[in-house]
Amino acid sequence: MDALDDALRVIAHLNAAKVDYVVVGGVAMNLHGIVRATEDLDLFVRPDPENIERLRRGLREVWDDPDIDDITAEDLCGEYPAVRYGPPEGVLYLDILTRLGEATRFTDLEIEEIEVAGIPVRVATPTTLYRMKRDTVRPIDRADAAALRSLFDLEDG
């Protein structure tokens, strides 16, 4: 099983658990047709305790792992709005976010749904991804922003 298969399996379970999430990062880039290697699934989740509990329930359907209990609403809805989860098996890591500093919050995300292998995936729009990536210091983000700008004819604004 590869990273995309693992990502789709996770997403299918998040959908079943009714998690309010949005895929961002490298997987989102791939879903929009920009091929980029990635080893993680970046998920923005709505920062409320009920949604975080649904997230944990969905992840428990994928992995029988007590470390899932370490993903808490206290962290994600508080001072530490990001958790990296490494499952006990597979090649995929999850970066779970509720905000990126003060720059991007869940409510800032424009979302579209893309169906992949029969699984609906909630993904950030190209414009949203561009806004998230264009001004960061990471070279990969700047390259992603340039690719998004070119493919989707995006302008700053």
Give residue-wise pLDDT tens across range 92-127: 999 999 998 888 999 999 999 999 999 999 999 999
Alpha-carbon distances, residue 149 vs 56, 130, 141 (angstroms): 35, 7, 12
pLDDT over 90 (residue 139): yes
pLDDT over 60 (residue 1): no
| Overall average pLDDT of the 1-13 stretch | 88
Of 108, 112, 110, 80, nearest in space to 95 by CA: 80
- Here the tokens at position 75 are 């962290």
Query: pLDDT confidence of 157, banded at 50, 70, 90?
Result: low
Q: Give the amino acid at 46.
A: R
How many CA atoms lie less than 13 Å away from 82 in the CB half-sphere? 11
According to DSSP, residue 24 is labeled: E
pLDDT over 70 (residue 48): yes
- Here the tokens at position 89 are 């098996």
Query: pLDDT confidence of 86, banded at 50, 70, 90?
Result: very high
Average pLDDT, the chain: 94
pLDDT score, position 89:
86
Domains of the chain: 3-150 (3.30.460.40)
Q: What percent of the chain has pLDDT over 70?
A: 99
Whole-model pTM over 0.85: yes
pLDDT score, position 110:
97
pLDDT score, position 9:
95
| Overall average pLDDT of the 76-102 stretch | 91
pLDDT score, position 105:
93
| Overall average pLDDT of the 30-42 stretch | 92
Compute the radius of gyration of the chain from its Cα atoms: 15
